[in-house]
Amino acid sequence: MKLVDHQEVDVVVTAVAPYGSQVGADDVTRFVDQAKHPSWWSSDVPPPQVGDRLHTVVLDDSRTPPRLSALTTDVDIARVLGGRAS
């Protein structure tokens, strides 16, 4: 499935590194930078682990793999930019 900027997608963490997480959905690999995971900003949120499910938004569909964010603020911004604000 081809992703586009501001699209929301549910993913599963498939690998974790010090700089971010590899995630996948529909057998396609994507990436969430460590600063785009809630654990980077709050000690109350556990760091990502393999098998975690995340609701994300596409930040940059031109990168390989596409860059996603699991931050609710980025999802909210994407909804406004995509005309889907609730």
Overall average pLDDT of the 28-41 stretch? 94
| Res. 2 pLDDT band, cuts 50 70 90 | confident
Q: Provide φ and ψ at 14, rounded to 5°.
A: -110, -20
pLDDT of residue 83: 67
3-state secondary structure of 58: strand
- Burial (Cβ within 10 Å: 0-12, 13-18, ≥19) of residue 29: middle
Predicted TM-score (pTM) of this structure: 0.88
Residue 23 has pLDDT above 70, yes or no: yes
CA atoms of 49 and 16, how far apart (whole Å):
7
Mark 40-59 as b/e (b = at least 16 C-beta within 10 Å): eeeeeeeebeeebebebbbb
Overall average pLDDT of the 9-32 stretch? 93
CA atoms of 30 and 74, how far apart (whole Å):
16
